[in-house]
Structure 1
Amino acid sequence: MELYRDQKLIYSSYAPRHYYKNNDPEAPELTDSHQHGPFYDWSPVYTLNFSDGEITALLYYNGFDACYSICCDLLLIICLASFPLFFLWGSRGIVKYIVQLSEEIQAMEGGDLDHPITVQGSDELTTLASSLDSMRLTLRQQHEDEAAAAAKVKNLITEMSHDLRTPLTTLLLYTEILRHRKYETTAQAEDYLAKIDTKARQLKQLSDNLFEYALVTRDTVAVLDPPTRFSQIFEEPLTEMVGELQERSFACALDLGEEDDTLTVKEQYVHRILDNITSNLLKYADPAQDISVRFVKENGKAGLAFENAVLPGQHRTDSTKVGLTSIETMMEKMHAVCRIEQSGERFCITLLFPIALSVTPQA
């Protein structure tokens, strides 16, 4: 309904109130071109008399606006109802991928580290899956290393028990002979005492090697010394080594070359390694042939190679090779290489240490 006075709109049930309030100049005016003003002939127009004057009333129904409003409401309802469906339909791939990752993580938690984590796409989930797969590979490598270390320790204990039992049995036998005086001459008794001393020294060597191995494996991380020249590292321990070998009637042939590379090592480990090598040479090398000590350089590493002839008929009592195992462990902690080669009666152990980059002092 609209009410007009003097051809000006004074009230409308549809238009905002400010549109017709206070004789708005923009309000539509009645014109003489129409019989009843701005109305169609079929428009229901009525004249109303009030105490303050005459008013023209127009009654009409805007079906288009009503339909438009209903359609807008329906469209809004459809959009609100359809949004969750479209959202779920569009995210079904992401949800499926998350479920797959969850199953693979559960399998990894159960101990299955061989099944790879699926990596697909190029979003944040892809980065997460890639990190999980890297963690899986790291865990698997750690488990393999732990299993190998456990098997190595188990094998070491088994062989050590055998090697300790053999000299202990002989030691007990000779002490039993001496205790009950089951010898014929004093010379024979002295011979038994000498054998007891030899077996006791073997036991001491085995226990020292085992202690050395336990000491090295206990230190999980080796702090390396600053880069040092080859000559400064090996001059003192090689001098002590050659002197001890010469005192025991061994001859050494040294070939240290002219190069003096800078190496990164832990000098404490270097001394232990050369002590172990010296001990092995004293036990198993043939003193009739020279022991070769030469400088070697391979693939960005430099070090020493020790080669000797094995004493004929010598039986290795240190069958567990704990001393060599300790050497390999210490070299590994220094990121160095230990290569052991034996061909016939020749034995060679090569030690290669990383060569440090030379630093040129600035002026």
Structure 2
Amino acid sequence: MKFIKKMKDGRRFLSLYEETILWVGLSMAAAVALFFSLNPAQEGLYDAYESGFVVSRTDAAVATVQNYITEHQLTSEEAEQLQPVLKKNDLSSFQIYMDGMMILNYTYGRNIDSVLYSEEDYADWETRYTIQFADGDATAYTDGVSVSQFMNTFLVIRILLCFLLFFILICVGARIVLRRIRRLHEDIHMLETGNLDYAIQVDGKDELTELQKGLDQMRLSLKLQMDQEKYLLDSNRKLITEMSHDLRTPLTSILMYAEILKMHKYKNPQQADQYIGKVEQKAAQIKRMTDNMFEYALVEMDTEADLEEPGKLGEMFYDILSDFAGYMAERGFSVQNHLSWPDVQIRVNTNYLSRVMDNITSNIEKYADKSRPVDVEAVRTTVEGKNYAGITIENTILKNASHEESSGIGTRSMENMMHAMKGLLFIKTGEDNYRICILFPEVKEKE
């Protein structure tokens, strides 16, 4: 089993489950280390307990035994009757000798056969006391009161301290995770209020980190979508306002000329024909505007066009530019081609590309100076580190030309269609010239 995993960005991390197991293991190791580190403290307390408290308690216990013997006038032959008193006073061992022979061997609550032991076996390492029986003095040896209670008590204290340390460390680890979860909950609550500018705090290297990154990415995507919707809504509202103004002007002219013709307020038939021509001109203007408006609406519905298979740049533009040059010649314009095609491939949507060229052609026909040539050039450039290729078309602006489409809906339609084809559109208007550049990203092979 692999405990270390990889995040999406290549960094390695432990899962929450594995972090929990590791933290529990480290906490347990710390508790065990504390348990063994308390050994010197226990030994020091034991020495102090044995040298002071144990000695005083042993003296008191032996005195109690002597009082019991005196009170009940016990003889040496009745020494076994001392066992309940010895046990009650918590003496771990108590040996009594009279005339060199053991008459009582009390060890941890039992009277062991005294014939097998002599006084020399105890005289060197146990504390000696004199006990007075009714029939004479005897010598008693003991190693003192039992320290098992002390040892057991300290052992329980050590275990409790280790468990407390283990519990505290587990709580600290849980608190770290819970604090991150609580902060994530607060971040989500901020997003619920509609504040999409509030960034999700990202920390750690586990599943929570992935969740934080995912939520923050979702916030950015949602914010971008809402900004785009707001931009489109504002753009459409502005477009409707501008279009209503642009349509009102030619409609007013049509109504005026219609009123003149209806009331016969013209001097002669030639003037009447002139007014009818103006009505037709304004009606054609309205038709172009409505056509552009419908085209704009249709392109707005297509956020991404279906692109065709990759093809060489020159092949993609050959037919379209041939039709363009022929149409311009019919309209009295001259076209100069500077088409040194770079050997690159692009992907386009022929329908959209034709409609873009139709818009360009229409603009040149209305606003370009026929006495000056229209220049067409193949270009290749880099935009933001990405290679693009396409064409530029430049013409001289006709002086005193009437710009009937102040709303710029045709330009917006071209921008939308180029965006749907993942291309770029650049327009530069000078004092006397107009230059438009359409670019497509280069592709190296068929996708």
TM-score bucket (shorter structure):
0.7 to 0.9
Q: 1:347 aligns with which of 415, 434, 441?
A: 434
Q: Which residue of 2 aligns with 1:222?
A: 305
SS where residue 407 of structure 2 aligns?
coil
SS where residue 186 of structure 2 aligns?
helix
Q: Which residue of 1 aligns with 2:67?
A: none
Q: 1:240 aligns with which of 302, 306, 323?
A: 323
Q: Which residue of 2 aligns with 1:159?
A: 242
SS where residue 168 of structure 1 aligns?
helix
Q: Which residue of 2 aligns with 1:305?
A: 392
Between 231-240 and 348-357, the greater mean CA deviation after superposition = 231-240
Q: Which residue of 2 aligns with 1:179?
A: 262
CA contact (8 A) 1:263 1:354 kept: yes
- Normalized per residue, the structure richer in helix is 2
Q: Which residue of 1 aligns with 2:171?
A: 88
C-alpha displacement of 1:277: 0.6
Q: 2:360 aligns with which of 274, 277, 280?
A: 277
Distance 1:95 1:341, change over 3 A: same
Residue type of the partner of 1:87?
A: I
Distance 1:112 1:41, change over 3 A: closer
Q: Which residue of 2 aligns with 1:318?
A: 405
TM-score, length basis structure 1: 0.78
Q: Deviations over 1:148-183 (max 9, x none)?
A: 111111111111110011001101111111122111
SS where residue 297 of structure 1 aligns?
strand
C-alpha displacement of 1:114: 1.3
- Verify: 1:197 aligned to 2:264, yes or no: no
CA contact (8 A) 2:341 2:378 kept: no
C-alpha displacement of 1:320: 1.0
Percent identity for Structure 1 against Structure 2: 35
- Verify: 1:291 aligned to 2:374, yes or no: yes
- Aligned partners of 2:318 and 2:108: how far apart in 1? 124
CA contact (8 A) 2:304 2:421 kept: no
Q: 1:330 aligns with which of 417, 428, 432?
A: 417
- Verify: 1:44 aligned to 2:111, yes or no: yes
Residue type of the partner of 1:245?
A: M
CA contact (8 A) 1:35 1:41 kept: no
Structure 1: state its 5+ residue gaps. Answer: 1-33, 47-61
Q: Which residue of 2 aligns with 1:13?
A: none
Q: What is the RMSD computed on CA atoms of the aligned residues?
A: 2.8
CA contact (8 A) 2:347 2:440 kept: yes
Q: 1:133 aligns with which of 194, 216, 234?
A: 216
Q: Deviations over 1:258-282 (max 9, x none)?
A: 4343111111111111111111111
- Aligned partners of 1:183 and 1:352: how far apart in 2? 52
C-alpha displacement of 1:221: 2.2
SS where residue 91 of structure 1 aligns?
helix
- Aligned partners of 1:215 and 1:100: how far apart in 2? 45
- Aligned partners of 1:42 and 1:207: how far apart in 2? 115
- Aligned partners of 1:252 and 1:177: how far apart in 2? 42
Distance 1:86 1:298, change over 3 A: closer
- Aligned partners of 2:242 and 2:236: how far apart in 1? 10
- Aligned partners of 1:99 and 1:258: how far apart in 2? 61
Distance 1:340 1:193, change over 3 A: same
Q: 2:444 aligns with which of 346, 357, 363?
A: 357
- Aligned partners of 2:175 and 2:389: how far apart in 1? 59
SS where residue 304 of structure 2 aligns?
coil
- Aligned partners of 1:203 and 1:91: how far apart in 2? 71
TM-score, length basis structure 2: 0.64
C-alpha displacement of 1:86: 4.5
Q: Deviations over 1:274-329 (max 9, x none)?
A: 11111111111111111111111111211111111111101210111111111111
Residue type of the partner of 2:356?
A: I
C-alpha displacement of 1:127: 2.2
- Aligned partners of 1:189 and 1:199: how far apart in 2? 15
C-alpha displacement of 1:75: 6.8
CA contact (8 A) 2:304 2:419 kept: no
Residue type of the partner of 1:122?
A: K
CA contact (8 A) 1:36 1:45 kept: no
